[in-house]
Structure 1
């Protein structure tokens, strides 16, 4: 795996766990009143779109012209089956915390409308199909790219500005690929022309930092204007996601491979699916030892990450464990073998 991809996946994975640590901490201790804390939570929402972008980059880079045999079978086994497993587990855990929960309806909602942390997998499968259509019919990104931006911003603006029309259909804000279309086309272009793009970004790596800084200032201006929503669907996150990904691609080429980065990157899919449940059980207990919100968030983050790593390692040791946490590399393999494995970034 290209090392800057591992680095981007590593940072995005930790960002998601940290963001959700603040969410679960708030449920037992409340949110700190500091403005910068609230803005930082919004900034961390870049992580899920970054996962989606990386997934498309890898897909376009590996399969720019043709999908391999068993492409769909492998993704059903190692991506969709874990999605189903955790959709059911989320309902069971929800029933534990809320005895009045209708577990059957919750399972259906999780699977169909993505009402749990695994919802992004539904988006990624739509992107798999879009990728297939582009390479099957040789669609030109010259016209698809600008159209995708128009569609994404138009759809998202309508959905966000007409809450009454979307009442009862909140899943339509995040699940249809229309709301993520621009991310897909940008990532597809990066992946298909990765050598040229990565060389260009490396050459102008200092400018990537400038672009990232400007995108954060834009997000902060939006925050100060009253846009306080903490979710990954914010359109003002689009430049943050693309610029941050550019920073990691550019500067990640200078860094050596770190064992811990590779470990978390390899386990990232499982961490993404497991961490929310660990946080739900852990937060009330850690609050007994860390009463200050900042200390509690940090403790919750590190302990949750450690527990997730241990759980995933144990699951990979049992038969068919890959169907629960996805395909996990158990020993060093050649790059050609890695390419056979599906990835959701």
Structure 2
């Protein structure tokens, strides 16, 4: 039987993608305007409200993977993902190194430094690709070795590992030296233990989607309420100065992201169909994620008029989103462009003979 398309994922993917653009649009506001402290705090809170963006984006990737591939990797799986997901990590990192060099010092040294930072230390917003690729590997490890264990036990262990990992790197400093400094400053944020609970939740939610959706329909209002409470708790931590860094690698964001993801699945059960606008954002989401920073920087630097901060932020968000779509639409006309921005127009899939849903056996 052919697998049903999960229409709710289009909504959630589009929401996560737009959230990423909004967070970085606000960053441009903070970088270009000398705002009073209360306005800065409001701007940061508006970022924190959507801070789930990147982890939810990688959760979507694993959810779909677990829903579709419940045994071993099919023929061509790794080739496609290396070509159209991993290769763009290197090509777009190179493009951003060239972009930054042209806008700033225009020296070979600055270009090489940017290349070193972006490629070897994941020092650009495309770092999520490294996380997704680790999820690919983990997915098939779970299929073969971990699936036999109780999901509640595995989830609890993953949550403990995730919290301990984040807490350790937040509370300790690098012992010093190039290797440890690289781990503390760069590699810790892309190592899978920092994201493992997102993987595990998405893995079980996708694999046992029938059971999960039945639970979400029953408990949806409670999940929604908990998501709001989790957001308010994040706001409290920021306002009180307990945890002010705007980052998705925070313990409070772990729970918030999972709850927002489940809330998204719940709310989309009440929506029939997917509007063309949401389909457009979902279709170009990977390209938007890769290109929007370039568009935002150009907008901020070459805007010919001065706008109020709020108008600037909203305009930057709109330009960052649709400018990226237009840029991706033009780039995809070039042969080999999928090695830069991924596959925008995916070929139709052959019918899948695997069951639509798999139900976990009782222990």
TM-score (ref. length: structure 2)? 0.87
Larger mean Cα displacement after TM superposition, 185-194 or 130-139: 130-139
- How far apart, in 1, do the equivalents of 2:11 and 2:330 lie? 24
Match of residue 172, structure 1, among 172, 187, 193: 187
Distance 1:245 1:278, change over 3 A: same
**Residues in 2 aligned to 1:93 and 1:125: alpha-carbon distance in whole angstroms:** 26
Equivalent pair of 1:32/1:293 in contact (CA under 8 Å):
no
8 A Cα contact 1:312 1:325, kept in partner: yes
1:264 matched to 2:281? The reply is yes
Aligned length: 336
Q: Indicate the residue corresponding to 1:280 in structure 2.
A: 297
CA distance in 1, matches of 2:346, 2:166: 41
Q: How many angstroms apart in 2 are the aligned matches of 1:108 and 1:37?
A: 32
Alignment match of 2:26 (pick from 2, 18, 22): 22
* Residue aligning to 2:157: 147
For 1:32 and 1:21, how far apart are their aligned partners in 2? Answer: 18
> How do 1:71-90 residues align onto structure 2 when only pairs under 5 Å count?
71-90=77-96
* CA positional deviation for 1:163: 3.2
Displacement of 1:176: 0.5
- Measured against aligned partners, the alpha-carbon deviations of 1:188-238 in whole angstroms (never above 9, x if no partner) come to 111111122123212332222212111112212222331110111111111
Query: Is 2:251 aligned against 1:249?
Result: no
The answer to whether the Cα contact below 8 Å between 1:28 and 1:284 also exists between their aligned partners in 2 is no
SS in 1 for 2:70: coil
Corresponding residue of 2:209: 194
Specify every segment of 5 or more residues in structure 1 that has no aligned partner in the other structure, as ranges: 340-345
| Separation (CA, whole Å) in 2 of partners of 1:43 and 1:157 | 22
Q: Deviations 1:287-316 (Å, cap 9, x if unpaired)?
A: x43421111000111112121111111122
The counterpart of 1:317, out of the listed 328, 333, 337, is 333
Match of 1:163 among 168, 173, 192: 173
Could you report, residue by residue, the CA deviation over 1:40-93 in whole angstroms, capped at 9, with x for unpaired residues?
A: 112222100110111111111111222211111110011011111111011111
Q: Alignment RMSD, CA only?
A: 2.0
Compute the displacement of 1:23 (Å): 1.0
Runs of 4+ that moved beyond 6 A: none
C-alpha separation between the residues in 2 aligned to 1:37 and 1:95?
Answer: 29
Partner of 1:343: none
> Counterparts of 1:86 and 1:250 in 2: how far apart (Å)?
35
1:92 aligns with 2:98: yes
Write the distance in 2 (CA, Å) between the matches of 1:261 and 1:30.
35
**CA distance change for structure 1 residues 334 and 175 in 2, over 3 Å: closer, same or farther?**
closer
CA contact (8 A) 1:4 1:249 kept: yes
Question: Of 63, 66, 71, which aligns to 1:60?
Answer: 66
What is the match of residue 133 of structure 1?
Answer: 141
Q: Structure 2: 5+ residue runs without aligned partners?
A: 355-363
Aligned equivalents of 1:314, 1:85: Cα separation in 2: 17
Whether the 8 Å contact between 2:128 and 2:190 is mirrored in structure 1 is yes
Instruction: State the Cα deviation string for residues 252-301 of structure 1 (Å, max 9, x = none).
Output: 12212111101110100000000111111111233x43421111000111
Aligned to 2:357: none
